[in-house]
Structure 1
Amino acid sequence: MIRLLNLIQNENMKIYRRLRTWIMGLLLLAIVVTFATFSHAGANPDHDWRAAAKATIEHNQQEINNPDLPAKFKIGLRDEMALQQYALDHNQPPMETTLWGGVERAAGLIQIVTLFTVIIAGDMVAGEFTWGTIKLLLIRPATRAKILASKYAATLLFAAALLVTLFVSALIVNGILYGFQNIGLPHLTVQADGSVREGSMLLFVLATYGLKLIQLVMIVTLAFMISTVFRSSSLAIGLSIFIMFMGQVITFFLMRYSWGKYFLFANTDLTPYLEGKPLEEGMTMGFSITVLIFYFLLFNILSWEIFRRRDIAA
């Protein structure tokens, strides 16, 4: 275990000694500030949210009285009315007009974190072959399994560092823009009996980031596997980025078929399940998690088998 930790530390040193790592970190901070500034301008936090809430309640009441409206839509309207009325009664502004709304919107920037991590992951193994340092690495008294595991762990730790940077910077920047007076704002949910329950806004936002993190881990694991299969860093990085951006487009076409739901990128985004809106009818959180576990194991087994069998002297 100590040797594995030393290997991970060594891989981290390789990552953070490079100038590009710090450039990506500074670029992420700049993107967060720019994104938060434009989002704040579009959110219009100074508008009269109470008048808007009252108008929403009146509009929903009129829609509910419409006999032609399906029952499932009426349930959604009633839930929204309950939330708006609770907010009015307890003087709680909408999340979107507070710092928490900005922090939640910043979760979309996890794509940038994924992109930067893919660049690192695509170079972790292939880079050793490109620079000819793989032989020096393997003469150490450590098994190939530990060497590969240390590289994978260092890649995920880099992703975690970027993710923490994203969350903390988004919280600070949006706090400055919106003010910190609503930092204790609760997250409201409607129960089955129609009552409104207060929950932790921090936990809700962290859950959103956590579900996005699953997508990050899967794409990074794919990039790491490609880096292990190919000896070219540029090919590994380029192919990984292409798959990352084209994944959702491919999913759109494959979902026309019943077997499309088994495609990796049809299951990487778990956030729709928070709202009870799966990508395809019949898909559940458990189903998507099972598919993700299958791909996760497949990518790691392929990485290990190829790295274990590869003839380094060739």
Structure 2
Amino acid sequence: MSNVGLLVKGELYKTIKNRKLWFFFIFIICLVTISGAKTLGDLETQQQVLRSSTAVYQDFMHNSISSPEIHSVLGFVKKSISITWVINIVMIIMASSIISNEYSWGTIKYLAVRPFKREKILIAKFSTIIILNILFYMIIISYSYLVGIIIHGFETQVAGEKLYYITLKLYLYHFISNIPYISLSIMVSTLLKSGGLASTLSIITSILGGMIASVINKYPYAKYILFTNTDLAKYVQGGAPTIGGNEFFSVMIIFVYSFFFLIISLYIFKKRSI
């Protein structure tokens, strides 16, 4: 196993033992469960209305209830995308603390004396957050699918390939959109040695990004700004987050900014005395 691989393995082991991570995990599971319970209650209410309504309204309600876009296992998985913002916030918090904790605990010196270059240490920490992000997305998709089966059963309408494609693409785009904020969190944490400040700044930046994008979107240079390219879901909905933008260009902008933030982090971490 490579040096980075060994470091990632160690980071994952430390992170999994972190109680905060398990709290976030349980919280996300609870959110999906609550969403499922609400969906089940709404479905039962609609069925009661259907049984007591006129024939014309029954046809309308039946078509609404039977729609695989809304009332199917995959439909519920698609609905759970709205919860991914919690995962994104959690990953920003984890990224902000993965460096700063080493300073606050005094363990950064032990890392420095190991036979690993500093850039490999930082890359391993960044890779750990990305792996955790992937795992959390896999968990929410899998658990949402399970809850969807409990709500709708196996005997629901078969969703078309388009719904599968759209759902997976939406999850992928939400995942990609958070990568630059993870990189930003690590950069600020490396610079300031403060996880709380780094996570606060990164979360505020991600929240205000949409407002900033709406203000500058009318200018020609807007398509080169990170904030105007992070709402990739608009491409799935038939629009675009920026004027004249396309999916490939927006994804490239996101990766360029992520790489830029990571390069700055590597430079600071390598030059700073420990």
Q: TM-score, normalised by structure 2?
A: 0.87
Residue in 1 aligned with 2:59?
51
Count matched residues. Answer: 265
Q: Distance in 2 between matches of 1:103 and 1:26?
A: 18
2:30 matches 1:30: yes
CA distance in 1, matches of 2:167, 2:104: 41
2:224 is the alignment partner of 1:262: yes
Structure 1 Cα separation of the partners of residues 233 and 16 of structure 2: 32
Task: Tell me, yes or no, if structure 1 residue 251 matches structure 2 residue 213.
Answer: yes
CA spacing shift, 1:45–1:200, aligned 2, 3 Å: farther
**Does the aligned pair in 2 maintain the 1:122–1:233 contact within 8 Å?**
yes
Q: Given residue 253 of structure 2, which amino acid in structure 1 is its aligned partner?
A: V
Q: TM-score, normalised by structure 1?
A: 0.77
1:88-136 CA distance string (max 9 Å, x none): xxxx733212122111010111110011111110001121112221111
Please tell me the residue identity of whatever aligns with 1:33: T
Is 1:290 paired with 2:252?
A: yes
For residues 206-259 of structure 1, give each alpha carbon's deviation from its aligned partner in whole angstroms, at most 9, with x where no partner exists.
222111111122222221222222211211122122212222122222224333
Distance 1:280 1:182, change over 3 A: same
1:110 and 1:216 in contact (8 A); partners too: no
Change over 3 Å in CA distance of 1:212–1:49 after alignment to 2: farther
- Work out the CA distance in 1 between the residues paired with 2:148 and 2:8: 34
Equivalent runs, 1:86-105 vs 2, <5 Å: 93-105=67-79
Match of 1:118 among 81, 88, 92: 92
Which segment is superposed worse, 1-10 or 294-303?
1-10
Matched, 1:178 2:152: yes
Match of 2:53 in 1: none
Q: Call closer, same or farther: CA 1:108–1:138 in 2, change over 3 Å.
A: same
Q: Could you tell me whether the CA contact under 8 Å between 2:88 and 2:178 is conserved in 1?
A: yes
SS at match of 1:97: coil
Q: Secondary structure at the match of 1:96?
A: coil
> Cα offset for 1:54?
11
Unaligned runs of 5+ in 1: 57-91, 188-198
Post-superposition CA distance 1:142-170 (Å, at most 9, x none): 11121111111111111112111111111
Secondary structure of the residue aligned to 2:114 is coil
Counterpart residue type for residue 7 of structure 2: L
Q: CA deviation at 1:55?
A: 9.6
Q: Does the CA-based 8 Å contact 1:36-1:106 persist in structure 2?
A: no
Question: What displacement does 1:39 show?
Answer: 3.8
Q: Which amino acid aligns with 1:245?
A: I
Tell me, yes or no, if structure 1 residue 3 matches structure 2 residue 3.
yes
Which shows bigger deviation, 115-124 or 33-42?
33-42
Q: How far apart, in 2, do the equivalents of 1:37 and 1:96 lie?
A: 15
Query: Among 193, 200, 216, which residue is 1:238 paired with?
Result: 200
Aligned partner of 2:155: which letter? Q
Query: How far 1:18 moved relative to its partner?
Result: 1.4
Looking at structure 2, the residues matched to 207 and 37 of structure 1 have their Cα atoms a distance apart, in angstroms, of 26
Q: For the residues of structure 1 that align with 2:62 and 2:10, how far apart are their CA atoms?
A: 59
Structure 1 partner of 2:18: 18
1:144 aligns with one of 95, 118, 134? 118
1:304 corresponds to which of 242, 266, 270: 266
AA at the equivalent of 1:179: G
* 1:280 corresponding residue in structure 2: 242
**Residue 182 of structure 1 aligns to which amino acid in structure 2?**
T
Q: Distance in 2 between matches of 1:156 and 1:15?
A: 13
Counterpart Cα distance in 1 of 2:139 and 2:57: 31
The change in CA–CA distance for 1:174 and 1:221 in structure 2 (over 3 A counts) is same
| SS of structure 1 residue aligned to 2:143 | helix
Q: Please, which runs of 5 or more residues in structure 2 have no aligned partner? A: 51-55
Q: CA RMSD in A?
A: 2.5
* Cα shift at 1:53: 9.4
The structural deviation recorded for 1:51 is: 3.1
Q: Larger C-alpha radius of gyration, 1 or 2?
A: 1
Which residue does the alignment assign to 2:129? 155
Structure 1 residue 182, shift from structure 2 partner: 2.8
Amino acid at match of 2:59: A
Q: Could you say if the C-alpha distance between residues 138 and 182 of structure 1 is closer, same or farther in structure 2, counting changes exceeding 3 Å?
A: same
Letter of the structure 2 residue corresponding to residue 132 of structure 1 = G
Contact 2:222 2:242 survives alignment (8 Å): no
Task: Indicate the SS of the match to 2:70.
Answer: helix
- What percent identity do the matched residue pairs reach? 25
The aligned runs of 1:191-202 (5 Å cut-off) are 199=161, 201-202=163-164
Give the Cα–Cα distance (whole angstroms) in 1 for the partners of residues 62 and 28 of structure 2. 39
